[in-house]
Structure formats: C-alpha cells, structure tokens
Copies of this chain bind each other. A is one copy, B any other.
C-alpha cells in the first residue's frame, strides 16, 4: 500500500471538527497533528473534539511541524491578508497548504502583490498552496469553467445556487436571516453578519480563465421576502418577513453584465439546485438537481484536494491551473 499523506489540521473550529472524521475515513490521509489558538481546546484530543477515533491532541504550530507534515489543511479565516501570516511558517517549512480561506480561491485580481509573494515563497520552498471549497472553489467558478470547454464561444455566464432551508433546523435558518423583519435583516447585512464571502473571487477566476477583463464587479446582499407563511421544525416565517438571503454577484465588461452569480438560501424555495447556464455558441446547461450540501461537499473537496495539492506544481495554485481534483481513497 502507498504511504498515506501526513496531514495537519490548523483551525479546529466547527468546520475543522467536521473534517477530522472525513480525513479519518481516507486511507490516503493520516492526520498527525492539529493546531488551534483557543486555550480551551489546546491539549484536548481530536477524539474528544470530533466524532473521529483519534488520540492526536491539539497543540501549537511548532509541535505540529515537528511531525514532519506533508500537507496542512487550514480552516481559520476568510481574508487572505490575515491567512498569509498564519501559513507563511508552514510554506517556509516545506508544507503544502490547502485552505478554505475564501479569498485564497482566486486572490490574483484583488490582491496581486500578496498573490505574487505567496507564489514566490511557495515556489522557493517547492510546495503548493490552494484555496478551495464548494463555494468558492467549485460550483461557481471551477465547474463553470469546465463546462465552457465544450462550447465555441461564451457570451454570458449565469450560475444559480438555490438552497431550500425549509427542512433545516433553527440555527441554520437564523444564520440566513429567516424570520427577521426586512429592517432587522438589513441591519445584519450592514454589520456584515449576513454575507457569503467568495462571489467576487469566483467571478475573477471565471474571467481570468475565459480571458475576460472585467471593468467592475458587484456583490449585493438582499433578503428574500416570504409571500406566504412557511413553517418548519421549531420555527415559522410569516408573510412579509425575510425567508432567507439572496446574494448576487455581477461582473461587467464594457458596461454589460456578462457574469451573474445567484446565491440564495431561504425557506420555502422550490427546485433547489446548482445550475450553470452558458449563453453562447451553443448555449449549454449543467445542472445538479437538488443542489450540493455545503458542509459535506466542502469537507469532501478539501480531503480530496490533499493528494492533489501534494502532486501539483509548486506555487500559488487555483482550481483552474492544476490537474482536477477527484475523489481519493
């Protein structure tokens, strides 16, 4: 049997803890250390913190690096300028990095200087760095670019991620603002508490891969307003209240909207799905009926990225410029 990949987890928050058992089910992945800055969990075992069977204990970074890891999975922050000081010691130590940091999925357009620095340090160390996940990282950027391979010309890209929260429990419904008045919803938008990070990065990846030069992008968060009451498990959304969130990314060339990303998570949504619609020569549609479960798919793609990033050419990678990730054993 091939040697499994010595992996460390950096960031044992909710997402990191969801990933540990996924990694534990992969013969190709061996979690050899875990890192967090929260003193409440340092010293605890991954077996205590997660559903995985693991006696690895949460430590500091130096202790983790002493385990000679091949790959680090970093689930800490959304901003690449906050991420870089966290991963720079890993990269310098020759550890490949996969991160859920949304801005890392395509930082070249919004943060070119920092991207060049990450790329240079990674190449110097002979390792690769990738930001991925389900969104950004797959549904609204990678999958659409893959769909464009079979058409002659693309005029316009529309991507819709429609999630129906009706069967979800209260915490998720609260997270998406369901049950709020429009005013209360708007206050959470203004304070940045309801906002999905990554639409801008997805648009820039798409544009770069298609050779498009965007004049500008927009990222607008609005409530979906319920027009009839919706009842779920332990909650009710009344008519006129927010049923959830609708976030729209728009990319323009010469004043024309040629990229539209619709991210909607709300109760009472019919026909949940992920859909890529290319308008061009010819038109082309790729659909995931029922949609893609965010947490499950994010854990899966990060796990599956571990062998891929170890094999990828050194440097700051994106999903568009390395061999495609597939399910690993």
Interface residues of A (CB under 8 A from B): 22, 25, 134, 138, 142-143, 145-146, 148-154, 209-211, 280, 282, 284-290, 292-293, 296-297, 299-301, 303-304, 313, 320-329
CA of A285 to CA of B287, assembled, Å: 8
The 8 Å CB contact of A152, one of B143, B284, B300, B321, is B300
B284 touches A286 (CB 8 A): no
Determine if A152 and B320 form an interchain contact, defined as CB atoms under 8 angstroms apart: no
Q: Do residues A138 and B134 form an inter-chain contact, with CB atoms below 8 A?
A: no
Contact A292 B287 (CB under 8 A): no
Whole-angstrom CA separation of A289 from B313 in the bound complex? 36
Taking chain A's interface residues, is the majority helix, strand, or loop, or is none over half, making it mixed? mixed
Tell me which residues across on chain B come within 8 A of A286, comparing CB atoms. Answer: 286-288
Contact across chains for B143 and A146 when beta carbons are under 8 A apart: yes
Residue on B nearest A325 in the bound complex, by CB = B149
**Which of B290, B313, B324, B328 meets A146, CB within 8 Å?**
B324
Bound together, the chains give a CA A288 to CA B286 distance in angstroms of: 5
Which residues of chain B come closer than 8 Å to A300, judged between CB atoms?
A: 149-152
Using known A-B contacts A282-B296, A284-B292, A287-B289, determine if residue A152 contacts B323 with beta carbons closer than 8 Å: no
Q: Establish whether residues A324 and B324, one from each chain, have CB atoms under 8 Å apart when the complex forms.
A: yes
Please state if A326 and B210 are interface contacts (CB–CB under 8 Å). yes
Q: Which residues of chain B come closer than 8 Å to A323, judged between CB atoms?
A: 320-323
A to B CB contacts below 8 Å, 21 in the list: A25-B153, A134-B150, A138-B149, A142-B324, A143-B146, A148-B326, A148-B327, A150-B292, A150-B297, A151-B300, A152-B300, A152-B303, A152-B327, A154-B327, A210-B329, A280-B327, A282-B293, A285-B289, A285-B290, A320-B326, A324-B324
A288 partner residues in chain B, CB cutoff 8 A: 284-287
